[in-house]
Amino acid sequence: LSRVAEDLNELQQTNSPTQNDDALYVRLNKIIELLEKLLGMKVYLDSGVLVGELTPALDARLGQIYRHTSRGH
């Protein structure tokens, strides 16, 4: 993720604003390419578990906590 941000920053700094449609087209395509890299990224915990895999367990536990507190405990 930080590499994509660095690439975007570099692209912004190295290209001055221009009226040339071709240059703008190239810059926009580069931004799209960099953003597409983000789509395939996955976030893992130190344990190696994909963050999204925790969702069912978190939902279940939050449901238990809600039921417990709604009973006045």
Give pTM, 2 decimals.
0.36
Q: What is the pLDDT of residues 13-32, one digit of tens each?
A: 765 555 567 788 888 888 88
Question: Would you state the pLDDT for residue 61?
Answer: 93
Query: Longest Cα pair distance anywhere in the chain, in angstroms?
Result: 67
Q: For residue 64, what pLDDT is reported?
A: 92
Report the Cα–Cα distance between both ends of the chain, in Å, rounded. Answer: 43
Token pair 């920053």: residue: 9
Q: Which residues contact 23 (CB under 8 A, 6 or more apart)?
A: 15
Percent pLDDT > 90 in the chain is: 10
* Mean pLDDT calculated for residue range 34-40: 82
